[in-house]
Amino acid sequence: MPKSKVNFVVPFAIMSFLLFLLGFVTWINNILVPFMEMQFDISPSQSQLVSAAFFSAYIISIPVGGFVKRIGYKRSVIIGSIITGIGCALFIPALGIGYNMVLIGLFVTAVGVVVLQVAANPYVIALGTPETSASRLTLAMAVNSSAAVLAPIVGRFIIESSNGEIIVHEDMAKLMFIILAGISILTAVFLVFVHLPAIEDEAEETSESKGRTAWSYPHLILGFVAIGMYMGLEVGVGNYFLKYVEFNVAGLDVTYATTILGFYPAGFFIGRLLGAGILKKFEASKVLLVNSLICVALLATFFITKGSTFSVWPLILQGLFLSIMWSVLFDLSMKDIPASTAKLGSGIICTGVVFTGMWMWIMGKFVEGTADVETGVMDNGMAYLFFFLFYAYIIFFALKGSKVRRKAITA
């Protein structure tokens, strides 16, 4: 059936809800990192294994892309929701068993999230015309960001500060994951009874794309790296923010930091709502470039004011400009990729997320090296030095990497 005759409102709403679900599960990691450090009395780099365990699951994105291609989008999101629910349920006994079991639970949860991510992104892109695909995916990701706004709010119930000490609430953490497990399983049951229009692979390919695999598109491979760099930014701000405010900013504590951190994903939500309109009027690569340059200026401002109360705001404001980057990077990487290879292409791009855990661990080791000899206090703000590298690559992708697709390549 031609796309113009299909009502895409309901499937778009369903995919947006799934992005909402995986958004909350992903963003709550920002709270779980300091929570686990206090709960199990481990080092900063060890606590970053929360991110490593979660985001390492994205290594299976490529085979998941093939899996989605074989069984279709609907069955994929049902299975992804069930796996996510199982992972969340595992977290509940894991807190009483030990840190390693928690990491296993997070990994299983992430496997479900990967299936949802790989299936939902190209499906949203396919729900309409190619000209508005970046705008459409940005709007869907705005719903994803609304879940991210909730994460710090919920986080205040599982971690707080009292008399200069960080206090964790294990029972509240268990309750949160019970609710997440229930929502995930109920979503899977609901999807069984809902019709989702099939997005068929193209029957014919152009002479340029015939015989080519997803791996033969250089802009897609460069986009895979760009996603890895971007995730270092998105996750990095929150993972080090609470500890930076608690130990490196005079007069502030983790309770204040948790409240302020809520403005970071709120920036994503607002930025994506605005970005959906902006991307209909301006070229995606140019919007990506401008936003990256603004973020570099904010990062420089942070280092100039580091240690002051004002310094928290350049970090938080980055959320407003980072907001459109996932959807734009994903869309630019998928341009000119035929539908017959889109699912594998989506898997390749999403695999870039696996870099996140590596970045967080490296940043954690770097921060440990800044510990004061006398007090032992670490300079958590130094972790953000890595952001200059991440932004440099994204600027390259906006200027050059995403344009490589215009060059013909023989298969």
DSSP string, 368-399: HTT--TTT----GGGGGGHHHHHHHHHHHHHH
301-306 long-range contacts, Cβ below 8 Å, gap at least 24? 302/381, 302/384, 303/381, 303/384, 303/385, 306/248, 306/381
Please tell me what DSSP assigns to residue 58.
G
Question: For 317-330, what is each residue's pLDDT tens digit?
Answer: 999 999 889 889 98
pLDDT at 178: 92
Highest mean predicted confidence (pLDDT) among 8-22, 178-192, 255-269, 292-306: 292-306
**Residue 56 corresponds to which tokens in the numbers above?**
């390492």
Whole-Å CA distances, 46 to 37, 70, 92, 362: 8, 38, 20, 11
* 124 located within any domain: yes
Q: Which of 91, 127, 124, 128 lies closest to 107, judged by CA?
A: 91
The rounded distance, in Å, linking the Cα atoms of 68 and 49 is 28
pLDDT at 6: 54
* 143 compared with 178, residue with greater pLDDT: 178
Asked if residues 337 and 217 have their Cβ atoms less than 8 Å apart, the reply is: yes
pLDDT at 203: 43
Please tell me what DSSP assigns to residue 285.
H
Q: Is the pLDDT of residue 205 over 50?
A: no
* 116 located within any domain: yes
Q: Is the pLDDT of residue 342 over 80?
A: no
* 103 located within any domain: yes
Please tell me what DSSP assigns to residue 59.
G
Total domains present in the chain: 1
3-state DSSP assignment of residue 165: strand
Q: Is the pLDDT of residue 310 over 90?
A: yes
Domain housing 165: 3-194+207-406
Q: How confident is the model at residue 4 (pLDDT cuts 50, 70, 90)?
A: very low
User: What share of the chain has pLDDT > 70, as a percent?
Assistant: 90
pLDDT at 157: 85
* 112 located within any domain: yes
Count Cβ atoms below 10 Å from residue 18 Cβ, excluding itself. 27
Asked if residues 249 and 309 have their Cβ atoms less than 8 Å apart, the reply is: yes
Q: How confident is the model at residue 405 (pLDDT cuts 50, 70, 90)?
A: low
The rounded distance, in Å, linking the Cα atoms of 44 and 42 is 7
Averaged pLDDT, 141-147: 76
Identify the burial level of 6 via C-beta atoms within 10 angstroms of its C-beta, where 0-12 means exposed, 13-18 middle and 19 or more buried: middle
pTM above 0.95, yes or no: no
* 363 located within any domain: yes
pLDDT at 212: 63
Q: Is the pLDDT of residue 399 over 70?
A: yes
The full length of the chain comes to 411
Q: How confident is the model at residue 409 (pLDDT cuts 50, 70, 90)?
A: very low
Asked if residues 359 and 48 have their Cβ atoms less than 8 Å apart, the reply is: no
Q: Is the pLDDT of residue 207 over 70?
A: no
Question: For 251-291, what is each residue's pLDDT tens digit?
Answer: 887 778 878 888 888 888 898 888 888 888 899 999 999 99
* 200 located within any domain: no
pLDDT at 411: 38
* 210 compared with 391, residue with greater pLDDT: 391
**Residue 269 corresponds to which tokens in the numbers above?**
């939500």
The rounded distance, in Å, linking the Cα atoms of 22 and 27 is 9
Q: How confident is the model at residue 162 (pLDDT cuts 50, 70, 90)?
A: low
pLDDT at 50: 82
Averaged pLDDT, 145-168: 76
Average pLDDT, the chain: 83
Averaged pLDDT, 154-164: 75
For position 250, which CATH number holds?
Answer: 1.20.1250.20
**For residue 249, which phi and psi values (nearest 5 degrees)?**
-125, 115
**H-assigned helices in 6-72:** 9-27, 29-40, 44-47, 49-55, 61-71
Question: For 67-125, what is each residue's pLDDT tens digit?
Answer: 887 888 888 889 999 999 999 999 889 888 888 898 899 899 989 988 988 888 777 87
**Residue 320 corresponds to which tokens in the numbers above?**
């407003």
* 411 located within any domain: no
Residues 6+ apart with CB under 8 A from 35: 158, 159, 168, 173
Please state which of the ranges 139-143, 352-356, 386-390 shows the lowest mean pLDDT: 139-143
Asked if residues 404 and 218 have their Cβ atoms less than 8 Å apart, the reply is: yes
* 201 located within any domain: no
The rounded distance, in Å, linking the Cα atoms of 279 and 311 is 30
